[in-house]
Structures are given as structure tokens and as C-alpha cells.
Amino acid sequence: MDSMTIVAVASIVTAGFTTGIGTLAPALGEGKAVATALNSLAQQPDASATITRTLFVGLAMIESTAIYCFVVSMILIFANPFWNHFIALASGK
């Protein structure tokens, strides 16, 4: 295999792992956050506004991790910064 093929395979595999792990962990975190918030709402219904507001802010921050992982995987697939380096090496510049 030449270096371009190795970079392509490594980029695709890394993008797959980034997407897989990067969405699995936030999904588990969001599930735990919602379960804890529902438990708190059941124990203290008077604090529902505060708990709900805090829950949504926390969910947004957890979801941003998954979005960042998705962006990194899309960069690796479609705008790989290593391509220019290996193209320059292949052309002898």
C-alpha cells in the first residue's frame, strides 16, 4: 500500500471510532442526566423550574461534545489536513 492509501484508511477508521465513541458516551450521559432530573423532580416538585432549566443547560453542554466529535470525523473524511502533505510528497515538491 502506498502512503495515500494508508492515510485514507487511517482517516476513515479514526472517523468511525470518533463518531462511535463520541456519540455513545454523550448518549449515556444524557440518559443519566434525565434519570437524575426525573428523580429530583419526583422528590421536590416545587423546584421544577430550577431543575428543568439546569437540566436543559446540562443537556446542551453534553450534546455539544457529540457535535464536536461529529465535526472532527467530517473533517477527517472530507477536509483531511494530511492530504496536502502526502500529495506534496507524492509529487516530489
Q: What is the mean pLDDT of residues 67-86?
A: 85
Give the integer Cα–Cα distance in Å for 57 and 47.
16
Give the integer Cα–Cα distance in Å for 8 and 90.
14
pLDDT in tens, 41-54: 999 999 999 999 99
DSSP 63-78: HHHHHHHHHHHHHHHH
The structure's pTM equals 0.72
Domain CATH number, residue 77: 1.20.20.10
pLDDT in tens, 3-31: 778 888 888 898 999 999 999 999 999 99
Give the integer Cα–Cα distance in Å for 18 and 13.
9
The answer to whether residues 18 and 69 touch, using CB atoms and an 8 Å cutoff, is yes
The answer to whether residues 17 and 73 touch, using CB atoms and an 8 Å cutoff, is no
Number of domains the chain contains: 1
In this predicted structure, what is the pLDDT of residue 84?
74
Range of the domain at 71: 3-91
In this predicted structure, what is the pLDDT of residue 93?
60
Q: Tell me which residue has cell 510528497.
A: 89
